[in-house]
Amino acid sequence: MESQKITLPVARPCVSFWQQTTRSFPYLHANKNEPVPEESKYVIIGSGISGALTAFELIQGGVPAGDITIFEAREAASGASSRNAGHVRPDAFRGFQVYKQLHGPGQALKIIANEKLVFERVKEFVDKHGVQCDFNPTTTFDVCMTQEFADFNARSFKEYQEAGGDVSHIKFYGGEEARRVTRVQKAVAAYEWPAGSSHPAKLTQWLLTQSIEKGIRLFTHCPVTSVTRSASSSSTDQVAWDVETPRGTIKASTVVHCTNAFAPHLLPQLSQFITPNRAQAHAFVPPAPLNSSNILPGTMSLRHSLKHFYSVAQRRADGIIILGAPIANPNISAAAAASRLVADDAIVNEEVRDDSVKNFEACFPECEKGKLSHGEGLLHAWTGIIGMTTDSVPFVGKIESLPGQWVCAGFNGHGMARIFTCAPGVAKLILGGSWDDTGLPECFEITEERLEKLRKGVSGSVF
């Protein structure tokens, strides 16, 4: 299987809406010019939501904060966690057909149940800690824009239900009713279930702040360039790792790779299985028919087919609508679609931007250009890199061939619906827990057996 050479994140990425609105975060450039310490018991690579939550959970589990160092290649949380579309949106049943083929019905049920749990965990966490991240627990619609997709979803729903999946929280609307509840005039059918949205940069920054204030050291603008076995490792039980950066080498016994799409840069054995893909999001200022008391009550995914979709989440905090889109779809030229494989989040694809806005206008004609005042309409567009895996589920756990190294990566553009169980899971494992203690589906574990299966070419995509 051909694999892409994964580099480090580009040095000067574009600035997302979430980053634009959090430029005063005091730790954005933490320890930017400081040399790195010689030793740290735990090193976490990556300061996105995976790295930030893993650190938080290790401290909750009893690790002294001063024993943990986080390295971030650019400013704090500058990857997908500050560039996404803000949706905390579990898959309620749609992916079941594909997960079933890839992982069997038992695992497919667990994958979907885990996503529901993540939404509940995020909600509980934000409530418990009073996290100011504009979290909006609401419902979401899968809006079927074509009969073909309505048929696909109906099949998934039926298969999921027949396999024993919980559908008690899902509502179905056909034809006229779907158009009324979603306000999308071309809707063929719709499904609704609990989901939410958040300001993802604020959530990640909150997590980092808690840990930093307890004593964790975060080194920003400090990419890890290699992790090699330290000469001082005495035996297989006591392996130490030299974590190399441009500002010095730090020795650690535990290294956690929370680098998502970029994981294969330091773990080339994953380069066949994690592929960086560009995705794009857009902020849109709505006109009167969609502002104030007319704000959209729920979030949505406008679905033309399994791979051709647009997400819509209107923020309670300011009414701004966030439109998310993958780079490739049938309306996008082959050249633009091919650019999705370039792991460069400095550039915005104008074709994707225009197509996203056009699709939104087609669904909500009150937002057509001619009907907007100056200052309404498209506010900003930005790009981010997602980490696609060949079997549509993340890699979590111990890297068997590298004792002391762990991974929590490969979220398939869906991390907000997964990381809140995966990062606590990896922290539990590091602290000596078993896979059962994580409560995660077994198929998420990075075992040699899974990698061997993937090497033989098992693959499929839900996203």
Interface residues toward ligand FAD, by CB under 6 A: 8-9, 45-51, 71-74, 77-81, 83-87, 89, 223-224, 258-260, 262, 265-266, 279-281, 311, 324, 384-386, 409, 411, 413-417, 419
**In the bound complex, what is the minimum distance in angstroms from residue 345's beta carbon to ligand FAD?**
7
Cα separation, 451 vs 264, in Å, equals 14
Cα separation, 199 vs 83, in Å, equals 10
Cα separation, 420 vs 423, in Å, equals 6
The partner residues of 409 in beta bridges, in order of sequence, read: 395
Judged by beta carbon, residue 112 or residue 409, the one nearer ligand FAD is 409
Instruction: Give the E-state strand segments of 330-453 in sequence order.
Output: 377-389, 395-398, 405-409
**In the bound complex, what is the minimum distance in angstroms from residue 366's beta carbon to ligand FAD?**
24
Residue 210 carries which side chain, given as an amino acid letter? Q
The partner residues of 342 in beta bridges, in order of sequence, read: none
**Three-class HEC string of 176-244:** HHHHHHHCCCCCCEEEEEEEEECCHHHHHHHHHHHHHHHCCEEECCCCCCEEEECCCCCCHHHCCEEEE
Supply the DSSP symbol for 365: G
**In the bound complex, what is the minimum distance in angstroms from residue 456's beta carbon to ligand FAD?**
26
**In the bound complex, what is the minimum distance in angstroms from residue 169's beta carbon to ligand FAD?**
18
Residue 332: both structure tokens together: 């996008």
Judged by beta carbon, residue 51 or residue 286, the one nearer ligand FAD is 51
Judged by beta carbon, residue 188 or residue 208, the one nearer ligand FAD is 208
Judged by beta carbon, residue 170 or residue 409, the one nearer ligand FAD is 409
Judged by beta carbon, residue 345 or residue 361, the one nearer ligand FAD is 345
**In the bound complex, what is the minimum distance in angstroms from residue 343's beta carbon to ligand FAD?**
10
Judged by beta carbon, residue 179 or residue 301, the one nearer ligand FAD is 301
> Which spans in 244-393 are helix H?
263-266, 334-338, 350-363
**In the bound complex, what is the minimum distance in angstroms from residue 409's beta carbon to ligand FAD?**
6
Residues 6+ apart with CB under 8 A from 137: 123, 194, 196
Judged by beta carbon, residue 290 or residue 419, the one nearer ligand FAD is 419
Q: Name the helix (H) or strand (E) containing 323.
A: strand 321-326
**In the bound complex, what is the minimum distance in angstroms from residue 434's beta carbon to ligand FAD?**
23
